[in-house]
Amino acid sequence: SSFLPPHQCHLIDYLKLSHHLIALNFLISTFDKVDFSSHKDIKITDTVFDGVEVRVYQPLAKQDGGLKRSIVYIHGGGWALARAKMGAYNHLCRIMAESLNAVVVSVEYRLVPEVCFPEQWYDALRATKHFLQPDVLAEYSVDPSRIAISGDSAGGNLAAAVCQQLSKDEHLTIRPKLQALIYPVLQAFDFSTPSYQQNMNIPILRRTVMIDYWTYYLNANSDLAASLLINNHTALDVGQAASFRERLNWTALLPSSFKKSYKPLIQTTGKAEIVQEVPALLDVRAAPLLAEDEALQLQPKTYILVCENDVLRDDGTMYAKRLERAGVEVTLDYFEDCFHGCMIFTSWPADFSAGVQTRDSYIKWLDENL
């Protein structure tokens, strides 16, 4: 493949990837057969918001005739796996709608390998902006002052990036009151944060797997993974990276209990051509943690859930600290015994106490703040 032009290298990566992902998605959906029909208390409707498929959960009980609060939810899966309609997310959104007496909009954004960045971001943005229109909110009996945007993992990435965009859109009259991010992935700048070092081989999300997801999402040649692993793309001699370095300097942003004795991995000389080839590595729509302070000051009240046994623990923790420094009210919900992805494991045959514990804490925060 080294003799092929770049676009053909990508095609070969895609073919390898698509087989891998199609097989994985098949396994997930087979494992996950759940009744998708409406339940007695919740009406479930599949519809389209500005060209993007969504699933809407509307509580039927408590017919008080009043306006309801609402959550736009964006599912995880490395921008490549899972569906809004799959059983685990269907179950989560139904429980949210029931527990909060809220309208939940779950976004069915397109996935890798069908599309790459920034299409997933555009899908999430388009669906959310459509929903935020006054006439659409009225149709669903939603209180325009009580809307949250939320997501887990790659969905947390999209939720944070969409929220940043909405907060600076001067044409919008209605914006989210809250954002709630569940073990979000927020940067591809430093793959040697303490949590990346400590948890590099923890199942579900190994460090190399997270880097693979990034290369697929950003349509980068998979040959770059080895360089990304050792932070060659953000070395001191890579001029484009300089202005971003302080924005995720974990030595200044993490508590000492997370830093332990880990050392930063900052290369003196690296490969500037990586960022030239894949400028999205430094694009805030892909990496919301890289946003400047002025953008962070505009963010709504925020909830971030992080787990100790997760390479992404420090992404969420650094974002919480930067938002807090920018004057945003932030709740960082830290779970010492939990792992990446645990919140979707709440129903048989994969019901873990970690899943129920994190889900209940998340829903409680929404209930108290939305």
pLDDT band at 36 (very low <50, low <70, confident <90, very high): low
% of the chain surpassing 70 pLDDT: 88
Omega cis (within 30) before 184: no
Give the pLDDT score at 345. 84
Report if pTM > 0.85.
Answer: yes
SS3 helix, strand, coil % of the chain, rounded to 5?
45, 20, 35
Strands 178-182 and 142-152, sheet pairing: parallel
Residues 329, 344 contacting (CB under 8 angstroms)? no
- pLDDT for 245 equals 94
The residues that are catalytic are: 153, 310, 340
Q: Which domains does the chain have, with CATH numbers?
A: 1-370 (3.40.50.1820)
The DSSP bridge partners found for residue 181 are: 151, 304
Residues near 107 by beta carbon (within 8 Å), at least 6 away in sequence:
52, 53, 54, 72, 73, 74, 75, 84, 123, 124, 127, 128
pLDDT of residue 6: 37
- pLDDT for 244 equals 95
**Mind listing the pLDDT tens digit for each residue in 63-84?**
667 899 999 999 999 999 999 9
Average pLDDT value over all residues in the chain: 91
pLDDT at 7 over 80: no
In the predicted model, is pLDDT for residue 186 greater than 90? yes
Question: Average pLDDT for residues 234-253, to the nearest whole number?
Answer: 95
Contact 112, 217 (CB under 8 A): yes
Alpha helices in the chain (DSSP H): 6-31, 87-100, 119-131, 134-139, 154-167, 194-198, 207-217, 225-229, 242-245, 250-253, 256-259, 272-277, 293-296, 313-325, 353-369
Mind listing the pLDDT tens digit for each residue in 300-355? 999 999 999 999 999 999 999 999 999 999 999 999 999 999 998 887 777 788 99
Whole-angstrom distance, CA of residue 193 vs CA of residue 319:
13
Alpha-carbon span 92 to 80, nearest angstrom = 19
Other residues' Cβ atoms within 10 Å of the Cβ of residue 34: 15
103 conformational bin, left if phi > 0, alpha if psi -120 to 50, beta if neither: beta
Give, in order, the Cα–Cα distances in Å from 198 to each of 24, 118, 232, 261, 285. 26, 30, 20, 11, 27
**Which pLDDT belongs to residue 1?**
31
Q: How confident is the model at residue 32 (pLDDT cuts 50, 70, 90)?
A: low
pLDDT of residue 42: 95
pLDDT of 40 reads: 74
Rounded to an integer, what is the distance from CA 201 to the centroid of its chain? 21
Q: Give yes or no for a contact between 290 and 182, defined as CB atoms under 8 angstroms apart.
A: no
The answer to whether the beta carbons of residues 74 and 83 sit under 8 Å apart is no
Q: What average pLDDT does this structure show over 124-139?
A: 98
